[in-house]
Amino acid sequence: MIPTELSRLAIALLAGLVLGGGYFAGLYLTVKQVGRSTSQRLLLAVSFVIRLLVVLWVFFLLSGWGALAMLTAMGGFLIARLGWLRSRFGRGG
């Protein structure tokens, strides 16, 4: 691999971590709000659509860098998911 590819993979990993952190932070905030909302279904649906569109948009942008960059970003996304689970439910989550 040439240095440009390594830097792209590092950026893709960072993008996946940030994207995953934002996705699960949004999910956490949505779930916290559901009990106080008068239209829970609408809140859940809008939150899901916004989070999904952001994730798909970023992965679409990364697709220009190839499959390896997308897989690296997905790895970052899954690491962020694991981090959220462990921060909320301890080591066993």
Confidence of residue 87 (pLDDT cuts 50, 70, 90): confident
Radius of gyration of the chain (CA): 15
Q: Answer for the pair 28, 86: CB distance below 8 angstroms, yes or no.
A: no
Q: Is residue 17 part of a domain?
A: no
Q: Is residue 18 part of a domain?
A: no
The number of folded domains in the chain is 1
Residue type, 50: I
Confidence of residue 56 (pLDDT cuts 50, 70, 90): very high
Q: Is residue 75 part of a domain?
A: yes
Angle between helices 67-89 and 40-62 (to 10 degrees): 140
Q: Is residue 3 part of a domain?
A: no
Measured in degrees and rounded to the nearest 5, phi and psi for residue 40 equal -65, -40
Q: What is the pTM of this model?
A: 0.86
Query: In the chain, where do the E strands start and end?
Result: none
What pLDDT shows up at residue 5? 87
Give the range of the structural domain holding residue 40, as residue numbers without chain letter: 24-89
Q: Is residue 64 part of a domain?
A: yes
Q: Is residue 31 part of a domain?
A: yes
